[in-house]
Amino acid sequence: MEEKINERLFLIGILSMILTAALTLTVFHKTFDKQVKGDIRLTAKTLAAGYNSLQEYSGLQAYCGNGIRITLVAPDGSVLFESDTDLSKMENHGNRDEIVQARATGVGETMRKSNTLGYNTYYYAILMEDGNVLRVAMEVAGMYSDYNQAMPAVVAIGLMIMVMSVILSQVLTKSLVGPIEAMAENIEDIDKDVPYKELEPFALAVKEHQVKKAESAKMRQEFTANVSHELKTPLTSITGYAEMIENGMVQDGDIKVFAGKIHCEAGRLIGLIGDIRKLSGLDEPNPCESFEKVDLYKIAVNTADMLHLKAENCKVDISVGGNGGVIMGNKMMLEELVYNLCDNAIRYNKEGGRVRTEVNTRDTKVVLTVIDNGIGISKEHQERIFERFYRVDRSRSKETGGTGLGLAIVKHIALHHNGKIYVDSQKDKGTQMRVVFENTGDLNEC
């Protein structure tokens, strides 16, 4: 970037120098030209004024010098006087442009190569009263000698400006880029002391990205720590039971009991791994490929059937109601969502309790509600129960086969379907979990 800015600044400097020099020289040249020609005309007019008082034509010689050449041409074109050349060498001048013009209009002027001297020359001619034409000429090289003398100085100044452009563009680039480099070096505090107003959104975006990255790293670390901890507990139990059997510390009759315990802990591990996979998105198919019309009421009925036995064991009654609802979604995920909510409503219930699942369509919304009159959740826990591994009562969760991930999965699936979850719960009275799906048909286009 530094190189590019440097290059461009230098280029701007050089271009403006060239442009300024070219324009100035053009204007200067025009003015100079006008002035020199004006001087030549004035000389010619002054000479013309004194012409009548001349005793003989050779008196004109006194007016020459400084590159001024004087010629007097008779009406027949023969040259009567010539200041710079031998008269005998002068051919007839009757058809020279300036002479022809002067005869016709009184004055004539032209710029051309002199036939006599061979240089580019400016001629100004005036018709005298006696019919002769007085012509004053000056070589172009002579005319512009002052102008040409100034050229080396112009080139020298140009070179100086060029050198200054190089130095200045480097200094300017450094002062422009320096603060940005300082910003990059202090990337942790990129949003502090932003050198340019225009860079503020960029600095804020970088900071935001940093914060998000840090948060996500922290969450991942916490999750890994939690997972290790959760895996360790059943594994420790399994190792303990197996060790006892191995060392002959378990009586033959109890081996079956211990095998059952190992089986149960292993089952817990499998469940945990299954939940972790669901949360990590490992088991999620591409949402666009698997979104279809899903009848939530049907899912609620199937789930109630599936959990019927569990509910019966817990002496809880489970039922389904509502006017039904169909949404676009992933069937397997939605089955998981309904299952987890109903399962919780049974597990955190009381003997003789009730679980009611309702699916209702209201305008563009489909609402799934799972209501129980179980143990309820106090206010301070309500906000945290969707966090991974958060449990209100750890032992109750474990006793009933919980992994602490059920509601985290519910939240994940709801978000995936643009759904919102609401908890309404009172300790010892019961809980109502509501998932509201916005069924606008947008998902159809997925």
Kindly tell me which residue out of 84, 97, 317, 393 binds ligand ADP, with binding defined by CB under 6 A. 393
Separation CA 80–CA 92 (nearest Å): 10
Q: Are strands 354-362 and 317-321 parallel, antiparallel or unpaired?
A: parallel
- Which is closer to ligand ADP, CB of 99 or CB of 371? 371
Q: How far is the CB of 374 from ligand ADP (least distance, A)?
A: 5
- Interface region with ligand ADP, contact rule CB under 6 A, candidates 58-66, 120-128, 172-180, 390-398: 390-398
- Interface region with ligand ADP, contact rule CB under 6 A, candidates 99-107, 145-153, 278-286, 368-376: 368-376
| Count of Cβ atoms closer than 10 Å to residue 329 Cβ | 26
Return the SS3 of 358: strand
Separation CA 3–CA 15 (nearest Å): 18
Counting contacts by CB under 6 A, is residue 431 touching ligand ADP? yes
Residue pair 329/288 in contact (Cβ under 8 Å)? The answer is no
| Count of Cβ atoms closer than 10 Å to residue 380 Cβ | 8
Counting contacts by CB under 6 A, is residue 403 touching ligand ADP? yes
Kindly tell me which residue out of 374, 413, 421, 439 binds ligand ADP, with binding defined by CB under 6 A. 374
Separation CA 338–CA 315 (nearest Å): 20
Token pair recorded at residue 229: 């901890």
Counting contacts by CB under 6 A, is residue 375 touching ligand ADP? yes
Counting contacts by CB under 6 A, is residue 121 touching ligand ADP? no
Counting contacts by CB under 6 A, is residue 417 touching ligand ADP? no
Judged by CB under 6 A, the chain residues 300 through 359 that form the site for ligand ADP are 340, 344-345, 348
For 226-256, the three-class secondary structure string (H helix, E strand, C coil) is: HHHHHHHHHHHHHHHHHHHHHCCCCCHHHHH
Q: How far is the CB of 399 from ligand ADP (least distance, A)?
A: 10
- Interface region with ligand ADP, contact rule CB under 6 A, candidates 2-10, 70-78, 287-295, 403-411: 403-411
Q: Are strands 291-295 and 326-330 parallel, antiparallel or unpaired?
A: antiparallel
Judged by CB under 6 A, the chain residues 208 through 247 that form the site for ligand ADP are none
Residue pair 433/423 in contact (Cβ under 8 Å)? The answer is yes
Mark 189-208 with x for binding to ligand ADP (rule: CB under 6 A) and - for no binding: --------------------
- Which is closer to ligand ADP, CB of 250 or CB of 392? 392
- Which is closer to ligand ADP, CB of 139 or CB of 230? 230
Counting contacts by CB under 6 A, is residue 402 touching ligand ADP? yes
Separation CA 398–CA 13 (nearest Å): 77
Among 267, 247, 222, CA closest to 388:
222
Kindly tell me which residue out of 377, 413, 414, 435 binds ligand ADP, with binding defined by CB under 6 A. 377
- # residues contacting ligand ADP (CB under 6 A): 23
The 8 Å CB, 24+ separation contacts for 55-63 are 57/81
* Interface residue list for ligand ADP (CB under 6 A): 340, 344-345, 348, 372, 374-377, 385, 390-393, 397, 402-408, 431
